[in-house]
Each structure stands twice: as structure tokens, then as C-alpha cells.
Structure 1
Amino acid sequence: MTVPKTGGIGRVRASTPGRPRWRAQAPVVAVVALGGGTGAAARYAASLWWPTPAGGFPWTILGVNAVGCAVIGVFMVVITEVWTAHRLVRPFFGTGVLGGFTTFSTYAVDSRNLFADGRVPTGLAYLAATPLAALTAVWLAAWAARRVLKWRQS
């Protein structure tokens, strides 16, 4: 059901009941942006601390993506199985910080650069290793978090 609302001088716009309005979503957008900037800055710092040498394997980005996935594995177990988080914690930390920290775009650019430099075997290894490391990290971290929780509860 739609409810007509005035949309300005002589205009009527439809609004769907139950649909989130911009003002209600503004805090979520704000915390995602804040978290995203924080995570991206942390990723940039990691690339400055451990730069990939020219012609080298992009270990830093592979590591950043694996670490970010491991952290989200633990984080999701904690906020879904241990305690109820404030409604802005998940968008801030999960979507914002960890979304800004991990990077599919740099992974894609690094892969393309490896292929463009004629380093096809290395490019293929990187293409396979990054998602494998990321998925393994999130799975192992979630599994380990659950094991620790069971151990602490017994």
C-alpha cells in the first residue's frame, strides 16, 4: 500500500510504509563512512609498512584480506552468538572498518598488473590464493571463536 505525500508544489510522491527513510538511515550511512575511512587508512598504513617491491608478490594485500576476513569471522560469532550489539556496531565495524580494510579492487588491480607484466603463473597463483586464504580465514576464525566460547562456558 502506498500513501500519497506532497512532494513539493503541486506534486505528490508515493511512500511505502515500513520502508526506511533517509533520515532514519543517516546514522548508518555516517558510521559506515567513518568506519570505511578508518579501515581504508589502516590498509594504506599496512601497504606503507610492508610495501610490495617492484615485481614482487602482493603479500601485503593478500594478508590484509585474510586478516580482515578472520576478524569478521570472530566479529560475527561474537555479535550474533554472544552479545547483542548496538544497531550501529555491525555497520560501523563489519561493513565500514572491515569493508574499508579488505580490498577486492586492489586484488583485481594487482592481478591485472601481474598478468600485464607477463607473470602469468604468479597472477594465477594470486587469483587463486586470495579468495582461498580469505574463505579459509573466515571459516577457521569463526570455528576457533566458537571453540573458545564453548571452552569458556564449560
Structure 2
Amino acid sequence: MVYLLIGLAGALGAMLRYMVGITLWTDSIFPFATLTVNLLGSFLLAWLTTALFKRISISPMLASAIGTGFVGSFTTFSTLSVETVEMMTNGHAILAILYVAISIIGGMFMSRIGFKVSREGEGI
């Protein structure tokens, strides 16, 4: 059953990821859409795992479906990798390095914010 839930949540996350990709910054050489979903996903996963899942009664299967399925398919390391290589290949090395740096440092920063927000709300 957990595999079905992860698959369904993954399908929803992938569809949302696709919608973001086709609606945000489609004419730019810089992959803003991927950066946006990866930073948002970093925040969301940290917040969900430390706040929401601990405060409400949620089954481990549903938590896996949301965390692994939805957030896991919404964010995308493989796209980050391909877009970075494409930028390097097309002579945009500085943008590629900037993209990787913002993705990694920004992802850790957004995760930290997610943890911080979740802990501040513990008294709620």
C-alpha cells in the first residue's frame, strides 16, 4: 500500500513541478523554475518532517507518500545536473557555477528556515 501512496503523491508532485516549469521564467537561460522548486522543496521537507508530521497524527505511510513521493518528485536533482551541464556546454560557466552554488547553499538555508519555522510553532 505504501508504494501506491508514494506513487500517487509522486505523480501529483511531478505534475506540479511540470506546471511550475512551463509557467515560470521559460525564456531565460538561467533555470529559475528548477531553482524555485528545489529551494521551496528544501523548506517544505524540513518543515513537514519537523513540524506537521510531529504535531498531527499521520501514519508513517502517508508521511512517506508526502515526503518521498510528493516532495521528492516535486524537487529534482537530475534536472539541476542536466541544466548545469547544458549551461557549461553553451558557454555559460559562470551562470552554471552560480546556479550550483545557489542551489546547494540556498537549499541548506531554506531547510534551516523550515526547521526554524517548525520549532517556533511548537507552542501553537
TM-score range relative to shorter protein: over 0.9
How many Å separate the matches in 1 of 2:47 and 2:31? 25
Query: 1:80 & 1:37 partners in 2: Cα distance?
Result: 21
Kept in 1, the 8 Å contact 2:6–2:70? The answer is yes
**What is the one-letter code of the residue matched to 1:44?**
Y
Question: Normalized per residue, which structure has more strand?
Answer: 1
Moved runs in structure 1, 4+ residues, more than 4 A?
none
Offset of 1:90 from its aligned partner?
1.3
More helix by share: 2
Q: Of residues 7, 17, 30 in structure 2, which corresponds to 1:43?
A: 17
8 Å CA contact retained: 2:39, 2:103: yes
**Count of residue pairs brought into register by the alignment:** 124
Larger Rg: 1
TM-score normalized with structure 1 length: 0.75
Between the two structures, name the one with larger relative contact order (CA 8 Å, sep ≥ 6): 2
Cα deviation for residue 127 of structure 1 reads 1.2
What secondary structure is seen at the aligned counterpart in 2 of 1:130? helix
Pairwise mapping of residues 109-148 of structure 1 onto structure 2 (< 5 A)? 109-148=82-121
Q: Percent identity?
A: 23
SS in 2 for 1:84: coil
Q: 1:79: how far off?
A: 4.5
Unpaired stretches in structure 2, ≥5 consecutive residues: none
Instruction: Please state if 1:52 is matched with 2:26.
Output: yes
TM-score by length of 2: 0.92
Unpaired runs of 5+ in structure 1? 1-26
Specify the SS of the correspondent of 2:82.
helix
Q: CA RMSD in A?
A: 1.4
